[in-house]
Amino acid sequence: MPKKNKRKPAEEEPASEAEAEPEPEPEPDEDQGDEDRGDEDVSDAEEGATDTSKRGRPSKKMSAEQREKSRASRRKSVAKRKGYRLRAIKGGYAAGRGSAAGSARDVASNVLTVAETIRACKWAPKYPSKPTYASLEEFKERTALAAEPLPPGAAAVIRASGEAFLRKAVDEAVLRSFEAGRPRVTVATLHSVLRPLMGSLRFSFAMPQGLLRHAQKTTINAGGADATAIGFFEDDEAQIREEAKLLPAQEAFYKETEANIAARKELRSGKKQKTKA
């Protein structure tokens, strides 16, 4: 009696016709993936379609040029941070080192250069016809110091003290900004750090009067209405009249200083010519 439901043996296929195993797909390149996604975004934008993210918010579509600018900006930012980090490590601001706690005194390597110290020491207002500082004496002293020569050896001595002062101020400003939850050190934070030292400092460290007056006279569009960058206070008008009286004296002293510098350069060049002769 024949057996029921007897299946026929499957015919063996030749080895040549056997299906080959599928090759693994190559991992997509990040840049190529971005470009592909960018092409899709551009095509969708041309069709007028609006894409949405997982949260239901419309995604910001970027063109190829915008993506390239974003990548270049990101590369510059990363390179700048690496440079700052390397400079900080050389200066002693490294995790796990004792100098990071007392970096104002334990200086492993100078952060300031001699050239930067010379530029800082020789800085002075360049516009004597504009208000600079509240007193004429400070203007004269700053202008006279800026005109004096400063050799690298003397600048290195000044740098030693300036380095400790700078580190102390910056450390305190960064700590206050971190505790307040701010991502950057603001001018107000740095001013609060330097305020206790106001009586010990020889010169004023706040913004020059010329910058303050310029902000009070410059009109900007804020919130759809024209207004000055900084408003006037009650006693500003009287101070402006007093500052205007100092401008002729500032211009006269500045011209005298420039004449002395020119005479000193001419004398130095004459000595060099005599030495060569």
Tell me what pLDDT residue 183 has: 87
Q: Spell out the domain ranges in the chain.
A: 110-203+237-259
Tell me what pLDDT residue 207 has: 67
Instruction: Quote helix, strand, coil % in the chain, to nearest 5.
Output: 60, 5, 40
At which residue do the structure tokens 């299946």 appear?
Answer: 7
Tell me what pLDDT residue 15 has: 46
Tell me what pLDDT residue 114 has: 93
Of 198, 205, 203, 207, nearest in space to 229 by CA: 207
Tell me what pLDDT residue 43 has: 43
Q: What is the pLDDT of residues 83-99, one digit of tens each?
A: 888 887 877 777 665 54
Specify whether the CB–CB gap between 129 and 250 falls below 8 A: yes
Cβ neighbours for 163, distance < 8 A, ≥ 6 positions apart: 107, 110, 111, 112
Tell me what pLDDT residue 4 has: 52
Tell me what pLDDT residue 48 has: 43
Tell me what pLDDT residue 132 has: 79
Counting as low any pLDDT under 70, the low residues of the chain are 1-60, 95-106, 134, 207-208, 222-224, 277
Model pTM? Answer: 0.57
